[in-house]
Amino acid sequence: MANMSNYLETQLIEHIFRSETFSKPATLAIALSSAILDDMATGANMSELSESVGYSRQLLPPADSNWARDGATVSNNQIIDFGTAAENWGSVKSVAIVDSTIHGTGNILFWGRLAVDRIVSAGSTFVIDVGKLGIELDN
């Protein structure tokens, strides 16, 4: 996962080169999408899995204990467990890091396409193991 959203790119450019300021997000949540996201996607318009089937974003706040750094790469230092699906969630194609835990809101900061679509059926789980959600800024 190394795609930066247009929102984040704009905020960083304005903060570094112009007079705007950009505060570090207080919230980081992991969201799952049934579509292939792009840089224009937002927390409001992404094809996020439905809450009606028991899905919810998972909080992983900005903290050294939650995010490991290795050079220009950051990765999750905690397991991200979306729990057991009580109903079929459908196909997961993309993962996003969003600045809100509330479904259908916020700004996508980073997003990435799964190497293989994952079907989440009733009784199965969606887990991101430690170190498997990585963001590399040096590409």
Q: Tell me the DSSP string of 25-52.
A: PS--EEEEESS---TT--TTTS-BPPGG
**pLDDT given at position 105:** 97
Residue 42 backbone zone (phi > 0: left; psi -120 to 50: alpha; other: beta): beta
The whole-number mean pLDDT for each consecutive block of 10 residues of the chain, a chain of 139 residues, reads 89 94 94 96 96 95 95 95 95 97 96 96 96 86
Domain with 61 in it: 3-136
Q: Could you give the number of structural domains in the chain?
A: 1
**pLDDT given at position 1:** 64
Tell me the pLDDT tens digit for each residue of 43-82: 999 999 999 999 999 999 999 999 999 988 999 999 999 9
128 CB-side CA count, 13 A: 25
